[in-house]
Amino acid sequence: MNQGSSLLIALGLSAAILSGCGAPEQQTAAPETLQPQQVSALGRIEPLDGILKVGLPNALSNDTIREVLVQQGQIVERGEPLAVLETQPVLQANLTKAKAEVTAAQRALDAQISVIDRYRAERRQAQAEAQRGKQLYEKGATSLQRYEALQADADAALAQLNEAIANEITLKADVSVKQAQVKQARADLDQATVKAPSQGTILEILARAGDRVGEEGLLLMGDTTKMGVVAEIYQSDLPEIRPGQTATITASGFPGRSQTATVVDIAQQISAQSVATGEAGDKVDKRVVKVKLALPEESLAVASRINNLQVNVLFDPLTEEQRRIRPQQP
C-alpha cells in the first residue's frame, strides 16, 4: 500500500469517528401498555334456579322404594308422582279399614236418629194422654191412680228420649273421630307416593326399587329451561366482577368450542370451593363467591343435556361503564 492510500483511509476513519461524536444517540422508551385484568374461574353448568333434592317425608324416612315412576331426563309437572314407597299397600289397607269404620259409625248414628224420632212420637203421645188424664181427673171422670199412671208413662217416655239423645251425641262424636282417622289415613297414604314439588326435569335418580332412601335423597331435579353456569371466583377477584359482564365458557371435553354467557347474579355470601381441577397443587381450600351466568337461548337445549359439566370461565375485562358500578360485597 502506498502512502497516498494510507492517508485517504486515515482521513475516512477520522471523519466517521468525528461524525459519530457529533450526533449523540437518542433512545425513546416505548410507553408501557397495561393489559386489562381478566378473571378466570371454574364452574358448572346447572339450572340457574338451583338443583332440588327430593327426599322422603320425615314420617316415612326409613321406608324403602317400591317403584320409581320416572326416568332421567323426563319433564314432570308439580304434584306428578315420582315414586311409590313400600308401605303403600299397608297404608292403603289402613285407609280402607278407616272408611269401613266410618260407614259403620254412620249407620249406627242413622239408626239412633230413627230411634229418637220414634221416641219423640211416643213421648208426644204419652204427654198428650197424661194431659187428658189430668183433665179427666180434675173433672172427676177418672181416678187419681189412673192419672198418676199416665203421668208416669209420660215421664218414662221423656227419660227414654233424653237417653237416646245423649247416645246420639256420643255416636256423632264417634263418627267425627272415625272421619278424622280417615283423613289421617288418606294423608299417610298420600305420603307413600313421592310427588314432584315443582315443575322441572329429572336430572339424576339416586335410589331404585328396593333401596332405602338416605340423606342423599331420592332424585335430583331442576328447571332446565333456565340453564346457566355457576362459577366460583376467588374472594380477591370479586372487585373485577359486575352484573351484565360477559364471559367466555369453554370445557375440556369440547376443544375448539366456546360460548358467551352473561353475569346475572352475584352471591351475597362467601362459601367453600366445590369445583376443582383435580391437578396436583390445586387450591381447594380457598373461599369463593358463586356467580351465576346466563347462557344464550339458542344453547339452552344443549346445556340441559350436559348438566353438571365442569367448565372454564374467562370473564371479559370490565368496561369503563361497568367499572363505575360499585362492586357487590358479600
At the topology level of CATH, where does 40-45+223-323 sit? Elongation Factor Tu (Ef-tu); domain 3 (2.40.30)
Neighbours of 196 (CB within 10 A): 20
Q: Is the pTM of this model over 0.85?
A: no
Weakly modelled stretches of the chain, pLDDT under 50: 1-26, 280
As given in the structure block, the three cell numbers for residue 311 are 367448565
What pLDDT, on a 0 to 100 scale, did the predictor assign at position 20? Answer: 43
Q: Give tens-digit pLDDT for 91-146.
A: 999 999 999 999 999 999 999 999 999 999 999 999 999 999 999 999 999 899 99
What pLDDT, on a 0 to 100 scale, did the predictor assign at position 101? Answer: 97
What pLDDT, on a 0 to 100 scale, did the predictor assign at position 1? Answer: 47
